[in-house]
Structures are given as structure tokens and as C-alpha cells.
């Protein structure tokens, strides 16, 4: 089962800068995967919907492969443990700055809606900071419930808020 996970951070953690935290989180996610992970480059994006003055985010997307007996909610539990290990404080304020955010974007062809989890992620197709790195690793992927591939969904988004690929990382 292939899971796609969006990573984001705009605060330093005990492990370093947001970019360093994302890189280390990719390593941790690789430990969950049965095969080599497929990760995008790092991207910087405007802090959308965050309190004024929030720092920009560092983002990436990774594909990991899990055994068929792993469920989506089990993976969500593991993602939340990793977030906590990176010092993520669960702020009741939506879109608060964070040291690490791991969003389960899709879990194979699974679709679900529960109090804990919606799959595919309901806002993934509306977010340039998700679609740009996702298009880098899976441009022809058609997410569950969509009819266009990721690259076409990305082409339909407005240019703002901005996202830029970081070089040399």
C-alpha cells in the first residue's frame, strides 16, 4: 500500500531548522517504508491562513510503501507520534505555526471520512504547497475522487500564494 504524506514546518525543533526537521522526518518516514521512499525536493511557501507575521513554511511530499495489513488510522497514529517527537504542540488555533506537520494525503485508493481522518486529504488539491512537490514525484497520479492528474490540478491553481523549490537541498 502506497501512502502519500505532506510534510511542513515553519518553526525550529530540537533537531534544528524547519528544513533540517523535514529532512530528519523524511528519514523517520523511511524507516516505516518497506521500500525506498520517493521524496520531493524541499519547497518554501508563504504561511497561508496563519497568524500575521508567521514564518514561511518548508514543505515536501513523500511516498512510502506499507504492508497491506497496515491501515490508514494506524499510519495516522504513527505520524502523530513523529510530530510529537519533533515537539509539535497541538494548538487549538487552526493553522498555528508548528515544528512539524505530517498530513496523510492519500492511502492507496482508500476513501474515508471519520472524525479523525478524511481520505484523500480534502484540501490537498487546493494547495499549491502540496501539489507542487507532489507533481515532482507523481505528476500523472490521479487522486481518489479526482479525474485529472496532479500536474493538471496544479496547472489550474492560481499563482498565489507563492511556492518555490529550494535549490541545493
pLDDT tens figures, 115-124: 999 999 999 9
The model scores a pTM over 0.85: yes
Domains and CATH numbers, the chain: 2-165 (3.30.70.560)
Per-residue pLDDT band for 92 (boundaries 50, 70, 90) equals: low
Pairing of strands 163-165, 112-113: unpaired
Q: How many CB atoms lie within 10 A of CB 149?
A: 16
Between CA 13 and CA 84, with CA 116 as vertex, the angle to 5 degrees is: 20
136 vs 145: CA distance, rounded Å = 21
Catalytic residues: 88, 98, 101, 103
pLDDT tens figures, 30-81: 999 999 999 999 999 999 888 888 999 999 999 999 988 889 999 999 999 9
35 vs 113: CA distance, rounded Å = 28
Amino acid at each position: 500500500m502506497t501512502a502519500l504524506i505532506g510534510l511542513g514546518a515553519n518553526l525550529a525543533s530540537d533537531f534544528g531548522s524547519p528544513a533540517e526537521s523535514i529532512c530528519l522526518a523524511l528519514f523517520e518516514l523511511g524507516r516505516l517504508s518497506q521500500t525506498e521512499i520517493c521524496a520531493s525536493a524541499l519547497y518554501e511557501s508563504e504561511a497561508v491562513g496563519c497568524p500575521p507575521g508567521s514564518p514561511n513554511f518548508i514543505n515536501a511530499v513523500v511516498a512510502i510503501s506499507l504492508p497491506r495489513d497496515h491501515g490508514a488510522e494506524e499510519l495516522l497514529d504513527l505520524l502523530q507520534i513523529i510530530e510529537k517527537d519533533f515537539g509539535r504542540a497541538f494548538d487549538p488555533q487552526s493553522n498555528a505555526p508548528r515544528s512539524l506537520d505530517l498530513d496523510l494525503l492519500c492511502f492507496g485508493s482508500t476513501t474515508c471520512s471519520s472524525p479523525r481522518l478524511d481520505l484523500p486529504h480534502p484540501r490537498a488539491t487546493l494547495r499549491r504547497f502540496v501539489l507542487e512537490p507532489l507533481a515532482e514525484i507523481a505528476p500523472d497520479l490521479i487522486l481518489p475522487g479526482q479525474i485529472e492528474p496532479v500536474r493538471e490540478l496544479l496547472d489550474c491553481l492560481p499563482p498565489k500564494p507563492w511556492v518555490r523549490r529550494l535549490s541545493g537541498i
